[in-house]
A and B are shown apart, each in its own frame.
Chain A
């Protein structure tokens, strides 16, 4: 093998480390910024220093815990509903024979091509008509109704790739369709469902436009909207506390990431997302 034609490994690693350092620097900047005093921040904001001022983080926590709680609730309920509907529907499309199957499937996929720009305003008016504005429903329902679309796209091809024998053996034992779904299909798709769940939770964490529009009562805002509308305005002059808030806002995602990044990476690497 012609080794000289390859990039030398040390060079590749050095370049990657440099790129990752640039990518991650803003995160580090926020992290150590959150633990500095006002004075230290003004003088040495670009690198970490001691002592750590934990007070920033706890006062930031005091003003945003409510948003965090709301987000956990909304994302939790919404994601559970999404996974249930997405996996059951994808299983049906992948494993059952029925009339107008491909036609219905295209009807679902076509929704991925409908831009939010077209639906934002009429969607808002719809929630208004149902009197759902300013309630948790306005935040949860979009996750449960629109959320499964991408999941079905992802899960259907996954279910189709499961060898037929798995299902046929169970069918011999007299298992009916629903049993095939929760006994065989569900356990096999846990990693990819993990990927989907992470995507949806991260999505809910990041969403600020819809909560900003639909939720008038600040007590019900989710984290991104809460940070944007009320928190940053409150502490404009105190950067360390602001960064403390960013840090607290990220902690649940950091935990999620720590425990699930293997699933997420595996899930993404095992499915072909392409057109």
Chain B
């Protein structure tokens, strides 16, 4: 037993570090650890917006897995998530490679700054500007299509109002999809590849594409993993477009689980049912990001 100091002695000798960490953990326990526990707990309750909770066992879950709105919202979420995820990983990578390969340092740093510029517009403003671009009669998109003769000059296209167009419209939103922060994160990775590796590959006669494929990409896998995991976590929960632009419509065509949860909680006042949706989403997101992480890990080894 008597090998080394006891647990209490270890804790006592760490008191200073714990003191430094106490502001952090005080906030975390109350506002970050408690809510998820409370969420899972209340998914077994009929919880109303006043706070009254009645235990109902698995009733919420039974109802949820028979709920057509919820079940139909799952494929919708993936239809939106998958293309946006791929775009969000690939396009900034291309942009980073392009900027990285610019020889003139002054131009390169100018591009780095310009690519970040869109963050000065609040995200809501970005969405509202796209609403304007998608205006059926006078938006930029119909104006462009009319101007180039692709559609008749009097043609009206309701990009956000028709069930067939809404998903492609959402995916296209934000074109040319160059997220400045992502570009810089990739560039940081590229700058970490030693110039000797790059030069020796050039001496071997490797062309640009081969260099990107065999040297840059393997070095950037950590960044790709980061964007993939946090893209899944963030993307599956995002319902900004639903709140700002579509209200889940037309019909139920843009309902995603997260938006349904929001509606159930804050317009229907069914807090318990909403936490059930939240709990199921948590489980799904956890499993998905684990699979993605494992899959990516073996791929690089």
Whether A associates with B in a native complex is yes
Which residues on A are within 8 Å of B, measured CB to CB?
A: 1-2, 5-7, 9, 12-13, 15-16, 19-20, 22-24, 26-27, 29-30, 46, 84-85, 88-89, 91-92, 96-101, 104, 108, 111, 113-126, 128-129, 141-142, 144-146, 148-149, 152, 177-178, 181, 202, 205-206, 208-209, 212-213, 223-224, 227-228, 232, 239, 242, 246, 249-250, 253-254, 257, 261, 264-265, 268-275
Instruction: Choose among B33, B51, B233, B262 the residue that contacts A120 (Cβ–Cβ < 8 A).
Output: B262
Instruction: Indicate whether B32 reaches chain A with its CB closer than 8 angstroms.
Output: yes
Instruction: Choose among A118, A129, A152, A246 the residue that contacts B128 (Cβ–Cβ < 8 A).
Output: A246
Interface members, chain B 258-292 (any A CB < 8 Å): 258, 261-262, 265-266, 271, 274-275, 277-279, 281-282, 285-286, 289
Contacts of A272 in B (CB 8 A): 188-189, 192, 222
Contacts of B140 in A (CB 8 A): 29, 46
| Listed A/B pairs (21) with beta-carbon separation below 8 Å | A22-B176, A24-B114, A26-B130, A29-B129, A97-B17, A98-B16, A116-B237, A117-B261, A118-B35, A122-B39, A122-B42, A124-B265, A149-B32, A208-B240, A209-B243, A227-B128, A249-B122, A250-B122, A253-B119, A257-B119, A269-B187
Instruction: Give Cα A204–Cα B129 distance, bound, in whole angstroms.
Output: 20
Residue pair A9, B286 in contact (C-beta under 8 Å): no
Instruction: Indicate whether B149 reaches chain A with its CB closer than 8 angstroms.
Output: no
Q: Which residue of A lies closest to B5 (CB)?
A: A99
Instruction: Choose among B115, B129, B229 the residue that contacts A30 (Cβ–Cβ < 8 A).
Output: B129
Interface pick from B79-87, B95-103, B154-162: B95-103
Contacts of A271 in B (CB 8 A): 188
Secondary structure at chain A's binding surface: helix, strand, loop or mixed? helix
Interface members, chain B 122-150 (any A CB < 8 Å): 122-126, 128-130, 132-133, 140, 143
Given A117-B281, A209-B243, verify A6-B36 contact (CB < 8 Å).
no
Instruction: Give Cα A176–Cα B185 distance, bound, in whole angstroms.
Output: 35
Q: Which residue of B lies closest to A205 (CB)?
A: B122
Instruction: Choose among B208, B225, B271, B289 the residue that contacts A5 (Cβ–Cβ < 8 A).
Output: B208
Q: In whole Å, how far is B12's beta carbon from the nearest beta carbon of chain A?
A: 9
Secondary structure at chain B's binding surface: helix, strand, loop or mixed? helix
Number of A-B residue pairs with CB-CB distance less than 8 Å in the complex they form: 275
Residue pair B184, A89 in contact (C-beta under 8 Å): no
Instruction: Indicate whether B116 reaches chain A with its CB closer than 8 angstroms.
Output: yes
Contacts of A92 in B (CB 8 A): 17, 20-21
Instruction: Choose among A24, A117, A129 the residue that contacts B51 (Cβ–Cβ < 8 A).
Output: A129
Residue pair B39, A273 in contact (C-beta under 8 Å): no
Given A26-B130, A117-B237, A246-B121, verify A145-B27 contact (CB < 8 Å).
yes
Count chain B residues whose beta carbon lies closer than 8 angstroms to a beta carbon of A: 104
Q: In whole Å, how far is B264's beta carbon from the nearest beta carbon of chain A?
A: 9
Residue pair B120, A269 in contact (C-beta under 8 Å): no
10 further contact pairs, Cβ within 8 A, besides A96-B20, A272-B192: A16-B102, A85-B23, A111-B32, A117-B237, A119-B32, A119-B39, A122-B39, A269-B191, A270-B188, A274-B223
Instruction: Choose among B21, B176, B240 the residue that contacts A104 (Cβ–Cβ < 8 A).
Output: B21
Given A15-B98, A232-B128, A268-B181, verify A223-B261 contact (CB < 8 Å).
no
Q: Which residue of B lies closest to A268 (CB)?
A: B184
Q: Which residue of A lies closest to B18 (CB)?
A: A98
Per-residue contact bits, chain B 176-202, to A (CB 8 Å; 1 contact, 0 not): 101001001101110110000000001
Contacts of B208 in A (CB 8 A): 5-7
Instruction: Indicate whether B61 reaches chain A with its CB closer than 8 angstroms.
Output: no
